[in-house]
Structure 1
Amino acid sequence: MASSTKLSSLILFFACSLFIQGTLASIICEKLPASLCSFAIGSSGKRCVLENFKNEEGNLGYTCKTSEVVVEKLVGYIETDQCVSACGVDRDSVGISSDAFLTPEFTGSLCSSACYQNCPNIVDLYFNLAAGEGVFLPLLCEKHKSSPHRAMLELMSSSGGAAAVGPTDYDVEAPAPAPF
């Protein structure tokens, strides 16, 4: 009798896991609830973005749209709540800004091992955002660990059109980016 119960539980678990995998395999940004939109990647490989709009009553509402930004890895992926928390990001934010790097708390969360080593989607997004500002995220994280305020000062000086922060700017060896 006990083995029959175990077998039934195993079959139920297997059936549920197939259902969940089938459900998650097809992510269409426009069908995602606003609460899951940010930090999701559709089955098309394009990032989902949260946008706001005013409804007929003039109230602010949110909708999920497909962006033109393609992510070659992590197709059909929704970031976990644990990663959102560990990385210090907010699913309710509309758009992202490199200004977040100017706060030591955000950079500390993003560079923490809980985020940097375990949340490839968020790290990839902010890696690319930092690169657009001429900053190499692994070096920013390395500097932040030793001197958060100095890292912020160097970030501000590099973002204003000055030379990009790169491996020759520091006497430290650049850590390898997080595996994706």
Structure 2
Amino acid sequence: MVAALLKMVTLFALSSLLILNGAIGDLICEELPVELCAYSISDTGKRCVLENYLARKGMVKYQCKTSEVVMETMSGWIEAEACINDCGLDRNVVGISSDYLLSPNFVAKLCSQPCFSYCPNILDLYSNLAQAEGMNLRDICIRGNAVSRRALYILPKSSGGVDGGAAGTAGEGNGAIGAPVGSPLSSPAFPFADDGSTTAFASSPDNF
């Protein structure tokens, strides 16, 4: 009971820090609770990774470990809950993999305006994962945006679809691709203009 209460207090304290700022000094991956492991960065700049192992009686347990994947521009960082939600992530994900880039639904969230504008840690991770697979995150987002608009254009109006002229509002309210330029979430860093063309990227455009 005491251990559970201490764990809750620790999680609450860390979560409170996330609301104010994602940066935390002296962050050691192995000391993080598993609930905050994925997408965190140690104070040495190495990414934390959630791993599982087989314990006694066949039980699967989880632990937070320090990976060899380095984030060069950030350290001592626990990703904010807003970015976890906006980028379509799951804190319980095990390992670091590019497989999610094959999912249209995940790409739509990753390339959404809130994620691309305000979550540089996530963009750096998946940009590097894409490059390791011989892909480019910018191209992945552009293709995903084009597919999204084309799908909206061909939806029959009887099923609630809209014509091509209104496709830009499809993501309104949930951060999906195609959020209209000029909306409260709009930013010059978002990779797509309302006409589908690319605009300036967050951070350094050459990195994505």
Runs of 5+ in structure 2 lacking a partner? 1-15, 151-195
Change (3 A) 1:96 1:66: closer
2:178 is the counterpart of 1:178:
no
2:123 is the counterpart of 1:123:
yes
Q: Which residue of 2 aligns with 1:44?
A: 44
Task: Report matched runs for 1:53-92 at 5 Å.
Answer: 53-92=53-92
Question: Whole-Å Cα distance in 1 between the matches of residues 38 and 102 of structure 2?
Answer: 21
- TM-score for the superposition, normalised by structure 1: 0.70
SS at match of 1:77: coil
How far 1:149 moved relative to its partner? 9.5
Q: Partner letter of residue 85 of structure 1?
A: N
Question: Whole-Å Cα distance in 1 between the matches of residues 64 and 56 of structure 2?
Answer: 18
2:134 is the counterpart of 1:140:
no
SS at match of 1:90: coil
Change (3 A) 1:59 1:115: same
Q: Which runs of 4+ in 1 moved over 3 A?
A: 172-177
**Residues 49 and 96 in structure 2, CA contact (< 8 A), matched pair in contact too:** no
**Residues 139 and 174 in structure 1, CA contact (< 8 A), matched pair in contact too:** no
Question: Whole-Å Cα distance in 1 between the matches of residues 200 and 116 of structure 2?
Answer: 11
Q: Partner letter of residue 43 of structure 1?
A: D
SS at match of 1:62: strand
How far 1:97 moved relative to its partner? 2.8
Question: Whole-Å Cα distance in 1 between the matches of residues 99 and 149 of structure 2?
Answer: 15
**Residues 104 and 149 in structure 1, CA contact (< 8 A), matched pair in contact too:** no
Question: Whole-Å Cα distance in 2 between the matches of residues 98 and 149 of structure 1?
Answer: 24
The answer to which structure has the higher helix fraction is 1
Q: Partner letter of residue 33 of structure 1?
A: P
Runs of 5+ in structure 1 lacking a partner? 1-15, 151-171
Q: Partner letter of residue 81 of structure 1?
A: E
**Residues 47 and 67 in structure 1, CA contact (< 8 A), matched pair in contact too:** yes
- TM-score for the superposition, normalised by structure 2: 0.61
Q: Which residue of 2 aligns with 1:28?
A: 28
Question: Whole-Å Cα distance in 2 between the matches of residues 177 and 41 of structure 1?
Answer: 23
Identity of aligned residues (%): 45
Question: Whole-Å Cα distance in 2 between the matches of residues 142 and 47 of structure 1?
Answer: 27
How far 1:68 moved relative to its partner? 1.0
Q: Partner letter of residue 38 of structure 1?
A: A
How far 1:58 moved relative to its partner? 2.2
Q: Which residue of 2 aligns with 1:155?
A: none
Q: Partner letter of residue 66 of structure 1?
A: T
How far 1:57 moved relative to its partner? 3.0
Question: Whole-Å Cα distance in 2 between the matches of residues 82 and 48 of structure 1?
Answer: 19
Question: Whole-Å Cα distance in 2 between the matches of residues 42 and 174 of structure 1?
Answer: 33
Q: Partner letter of residue 118 of structure 1?
A: Y
Change (3 A) 1:66 1:149: farther
Question: Whole-Å Cα distance in 1 between the matches of residues 106 and 200 of structure 2?
Answer: 21
Question: Whole-Å Cα distance in 2 between the matches of residues 133 and 174 of structure 1?
Answer: 23
